[in-house]
Amino acid sequence: MKEELLQYMALQLGYVGRILLAGICGYAIGLERQTKRKMAGRKTHVIVAITAALMIILSKYGFDDVLGEYIKLDPSRVAAGIVTAIGFLGSGMIFSKNNNVIGLTTSAGIWATVGVGMAMGSGMYLIGVLTTLMIIFSELFLGRKSNTTESVEVEREIEIEYIEEVESEINIASILQSGFDENGFQVEKVQIKREDNGVTKIIISVCSDEKTNPFFLMELMDRYKEIIKVSL
């Protein structure tokens, strides 16, 4: 009886170890996403990984007590359900803004984290760890500016408010255009709205390399008193 109890406890601790290892891998993937201030960070990836591992363990070993000559179960059925279900979570992280699709990489990372959790739950530790490292490498380095990849362009929306003074000979529009050209920004769209209090609001959509610094606008604000507000 005592030996059976020890075997049972060792088996259960083995399952717990699989779940913990899945959580560690999920944490590593989520940490990279959180450092980039993405929607899904460490907490989400850890929960996804450990839940996927738990589901696989339940699918493989959770029905041993009911299996017999007349009861047969397919251990892959839960795995198929996990892959289908995670699609709802992943699709909720993808949305469109200014004609750009945002959240694809994070959604793919969540999907990959499910695979890592399933591998750990199945006892395929080497595959799970190596896949985790490959996912982190892909998120860190692929798609960034390098010798083998093109620079990644991002679209920003900049809001500028200024007061048009009659006596002023300064052309704010020309100053802004020159500033964008000199700093590597391509103007995509401009919206202009004049308020009743004499303030003109300009909303500019610009496209540039992800590392391009837009803070030259702050210098313009300090230089020209007509510019009263800059929002990046």
- At residue 148, the pLDDT reads 41
Provide the H-helix boundaries in the chain.
Answer: 2-35, 42-61, 77-91, 104-121, 125-141, 172-182, 216-223
* pLDDT profile of the chain (232 residues), mean per 10: 80 87 88 73 85 85 68 71 72 59 73 86 87 84 52 70 65 75 77 78 76 71 75 73
Task: Determine the Cα–Cα distance for residues 9 and 6; give it in Å rounded to an integer.
Answer: 5
Residues in contact with 204: Cβ distance below 8 Å, sequence separation at least 6, in sequence order: 157, 158, 159, 160, 176, 180, 187, 189, 190, 191
- At residue 111, the pLDDT reads 81
- At residue 87, the pLDDT reads 72
- CB contact at 8 A, 28 and 44: no
- At residue 149, the pLDDT reads 43
Tokens of 104: 């694809």
Task: Determine the Cα–Cα distance for residues 122 and 79; give it in Å rounded to an integer.
Answer: 10
0.75 exceeded by the pTM? no
* pLDDT tens-place string over residues 174-224: 777 777 777 777 777 777 887 777 778 888 887 776 666 667 777 777 777
Tokens of 176: 């802004």
Q: Is 94 strand, coil or helix? A: coil
